[in-house]
Amino acid sequence: DRPILIAPSLLSCDFARIGEEVARVEAGGADWLHVDVMDGHFVPNLTIGPPIVKAIHAAARIPLDVHLMISEPVRYAEAFVDAGAHVLTFHWEVTGAAGTGAAIEAIRATGVPAVGISVNPDTPVEPLEPFLDSLDLILVMSVFPGFGGQKFIPEVLTKVRRLREMGFEGLIEMDGGVAPATIADCAAAGTDAFVAGSAIFGSEDVAATMKEMRRLAAE
């Protein structure tokens, strides 16, 4: 049986009360905390760096799932691992066919428990084939990265099914517009980890929303 991992994206939380927000989703049953790191270069937005990740880690009891939307993931990998990243995910669009093997090795060498790669909605998954055995997680973006609150792009579900057909047995994570209305299709395609920012933090009762999402993913 595949796991169901609910990962609230802190991008949609109240950053002035981040410790309380972490405690709120942990009490509500979150499995991971999804942390979006943006550099204003790979994506047109800026968020947080290692010092804030470290502060989140100090407040957290569950693993940090750190999503690097940055142009130099290898350069900063160690800093994010030292800050407490449990999963460290970089983008295929940054490293490409020529650089991905070395990037995986470099990130693995930090000792991080899990190494992930992410693909944008318009990036095919077939080129990942040589790297499947060395990856713990593949993050399929269901919106173009940069901002929370965007609409889910259902066409990416084909890529989740394709990765399973290709024999990938690691974790597949979906990020962008994941909500009660879209999570069942993600799960049916073969997704294990579900990132949701606006759907969770924008709801009145984060615990009830996560419980509902877990129920729909299990169907």
Residues found near ligand DX5 in the complex (CB under 6 A): 9, 11-12, 34, 36, 67, 143, 145-150, 175-178, 195-199
Q: Is 36 in the active site?
A: yes
Ligand-binding annotation for 99, yes or no, is: no
Active-site hit among 175, 185, 192, 205:
175
- 148 is known to lie in a ligand binding site: yes
DSSP string, 25-87: HHHTT-S-EEEEEEBSSSSS-B---HHHHHHHHHH-SS-EEEEEESS-HHHHHHHHHHTTEEE
Contact call for residue 36 and Zn ion (CB under 5 A): yes
Q: Which of 36, 133, 136, 205 is catalytic?
A: 36
Nearer to ligand DX5, 190 or 197 (CB): 197
192 annotated as belonging to a binding site for a ligand: no
The DSSP secondary-structure symbol of 120 reads -
Give which of ligand DX5, Zn ion, none residue 50 binds (C-beta under 5 to 8 Å, depending on kind). none
Closest C-alpha to 146, from 173, 118, 169? 118
29 is in an annotated binding site: no
* Cβ-based nearer residue to Zn ion, 65 or 78: 65
Residue 175 catalytic?
Answer: yes
H or E element at residue 204: none
Distance of closest approach, residue 62 Cβ to ligand DX5, in angstroms: 16
- Residue 15 neighbours by CB under 8 Å, 6+ apart: none
- Of 66, 63, 70, 53, the C-alpha closest to 18 is 53
Helix axes of 92-108 and 73-82: crossing angle, nearest 10 degrees: 50
Our finding on whether 67 is near Zn ion (CB under 5 A) is yes
Report the SS3 class of residue 52: helix
Least distance from Zn ion to the Cβ atom of residue 68, Å:
9
Name the binder of 199 from ligand DX5, Zn ion, none, CB < 5-8 A by kind.
ligand DX5
Among residues 95 and 182, whose Cβ is nearest to ligand DX5? 182
Closest CA to 7 of 188, 189, 214, 219: 214
Distance from C-alpha of 143 to C-alpha of 154, rounded to nearest angstrom:
9
Tokens of residue 146, six digits: 């940069």
Our CB check for ligand DX5 shows the closer of 50 and 197 to be 197
> Interface with Zn ion by CB under 5 A: which range of 62-70, 82-90, 92-100, 203-211?
62-70
Tell me the catalytic residues: 36, 175
Indicate the annotated binding residues for a divalent metal cation.
34, 36, 67, 175
